[in-house]
Amino acid sequence: MALAHQNPSPRIMGRLRLVSQGLLGGGFPSVADAVRWMTAMQAQDLGHALWAVGQRVPGTRASDVRAALDAGTVVRSWPMRGTLHLLAPEDLRWILDITSGRLMTAVAGRHRELGITQDDISHCRDIAHKTTEGLKASEGAHGATREQLFQAFEEAGQSTTAQRGIHLLGSLCQRAWLVQGPMAAPTGKAGLQQLFVPFEEWIPNSRVLQREEGIAELLFRYLRSHGPATIKDFAWWSQVPLTEARAALKSLHGHLVELPLRGTSYWMSPETAAMLDDGVPGSRSLLALPGFDEFLLGYQDRSLVLAPEYAEQVVPGKNGVFKRIIVSGGEVVGTWARTVNGKSVGVLPEPFAGQLGTAAGRSFEAQGRAYVKFMAG
């Protein structure tokens, strides 16, 4: 179904995305519900990922998200783009079945540079499983830290220097032999960490989808949770080849709504599209979102919500590190920083142009208080 007569502004498109992502309209009832709806949430920085979930689940604290990781109702792994994401446990394997082959091909050259062979990866799988079993028997641990696995690799003659260790770990997770499980005990220097555990032990029940069916489901869930978005946005986000993505789109005829805008087709769920008739909420909303949030990062083309002239203020030097963002009425209007003064934690707005207005300033202060309370919990 196509909406032929609509011509929404970029801010309205941004607010539709806020609604789709659970950032307006009440959010989700639980951490697991939010992650499952989003399908995969960027989580290379776990602290940022905690707040990304918190912004979508009102009333939660960081400890609630950590508890979901401890319980295995949410998992963290490398399902796409070689980047860590949060996912529902039952979704990880079938998504890996779709994405891992292309990623392994992409990193093959780097593996040759690092001297990583298939035999090395299999050897490290055996080392990792033996290490986690040994720690469970001797210490009652639920898994092994990255440092413990690296030490075991080194002792078995597998170098972990020059990023070789993280590529080995990533390869084990890509093949669904390991997954990041419960939180590790804090050490005071390593920050937030998770233990690595055998995949089948931590995720005993996985959905099974054939490739064509899986790509169609992944596309539908992406457009439902990220729409309005384009087929190129999805292909970039998932790394599914564009030819297969377009074939999946045809199979979803009647389940999505098309919105032509400036010569480009945007797709979304019928529920999201209905708001164009009923009124899109959030015109005065203001959110302090984390770095790497799906609201901005989850699209190939981010110009609908972030003016190109400000893009480098969010990703300085185009280095791939996304700063925390201020979103006002569906548009990115600035960044913000976490401040620490002794034991006191605060936030500092960094708007792109001038200062935040009085009402926006009050809203940002409320967001800042919510962030500090969330992270302390």
Distance between CA atoms of 101 and 85, rounded to whole angstroms?
18
Can you tell me the mean pLDDT for 72-80? 96
C-alpha pair distances (Å), 119 with each of 161, 225, 280 = 18, 40, 55
> Residue 1: is its pLDDT beyond 70?
no
pLDDT for the residue 48: 97
Task: Name the more confident of 319 and 148.
Answer: 148
The tokens describing 246, both together, are 């377009």
The tokens describing 290, both together, are 């984390």
CA 99 to chain centre: 15
> Residue 204: is its pLDDT beyond 70?
yes
> Residue 191: is its pLDDT beyond 80?
no
Mean of pLDDT over the chain = 94
> Residue 5: is its pLDDT beyond 90?
no
**Residue 317: exposed, middle, or buried by beta-carbon count in 10 A (0-12, 13-18, 19+)?**
exposed
> Residue 4: is its pLDDT beyond 70?
no
Distance between CA atoms of 296 and 278, rounded to whole angstroms?
25
pLDDT for the residue 216: 98
pLDDT for the residue 189: 57
**Which band of pLDDT confidence, cut at 50, 70 and 90, is reported for residue 84?**
very high
Q: SS3 for the chain, per residue?
A: CECCCCCCCHHHHHHHHHHHCCCCCCCCCCHHHHHHHHCCEECCCHHHHHHHHHCCCCCCCHHHHHHHHHHCCCEEEEEECCEEEEECHHHHHHHHHHHHHHHHHHCHHHHHHHCCCHHHHHHHHHHHHHHHHHHHHHHCCCCECHHHHHHHHHHCCCCCCCCHHHHHHHHHHHCCCEEEEEECCCCCCCCCCEEEEEHHHHCCCCCCCCHHHHHHHHHHHHHHHHCCECHHHHHHHHCCCHHHHHHHHHHCCCCCEEEEECCEEEEECHHHHCHHHHCCCCCCCEEEECCCCHHHHCCCCCCCCCCHHHHHHHCHHHCCCCCEEEEECCEEEEEEEEEEECCEEEEEEEECCCCCCHHHHHHHHHHHHHHHHHHHC
* CA proximity to 135, closest of 125, 145, 120: 145
The tokens describing 309, both together, are 């002239």
pLDDT for the residue 283: 93
pLDDT for the residue 252: 97
pLDDT for the residue 284: 93
CA count, 13 A, side-chain hemisphere, 138: 8
pLDDT for the residue 190: 58
> Percent of the chain at pLDDT above 70?
97
> pTM here?
0.94
The tokens describing 361, both together, are 């300033």
pLDDT for the residue 256: 97
Distance between CA atoms of 1 and 252, rounded to whole angstroms?
11
The tokens describing 52, both together, are 């990304």
**Which band of pLDDT confidence, cut at 50, 70 and 90, is reported for residue 370?**
very high
The tokens describing 272, both together, are 């999201």
Name the one residue in this structure whose structure tokens are 């207005």. Answer: 357
> Residue 132: is its pLDDT beyond 90?
yes
Residues 6+ apart with CB under 8 A from 168: 116, 120, 121, 124, 153, 158, 160
pLDDT digits (tens, 9 = 90+) for 35-44: 999 999 999 9
Residue 287, beta-bridge partner list: 327
The one-letter amino acid at 68: A
Distance between CA atoms of 303 and 299, rounded to whole angstroms?
9
pLDDT digits (tens, 9 = 90+) for 274-296: 999 888 999 999 999 999 999 99
Cis before residue 241, ω within 30 degrees of 0? no
C-alpha pair distances (Å), 113 with each of 104, 168, 199 = 14, 13, 28
Residues 6+ apart with CB under 8 A from 342: none
> Residue 99: is its pLDDT beyond 70?
yes
Query: For 141, phi and psi rounded to 5 degrees?
Result: -75, 150
The tokens describing 64, both together, are 């609630």
Residues 6+ apart with CB under 8 A from 180: 69, 75, 76, 77, 84, 173, 194, 195, 196, 197
Whether the CB-CB separation of 273 and 18 falls below 8 Å is answered with no
> Residue 188: is its pLDDT beyond 60?
no
pLDDT for the residue 102: 92
pLDDT for the residue 192: 82
Task: Name the more confident of 237 and 345.
Answer: 237
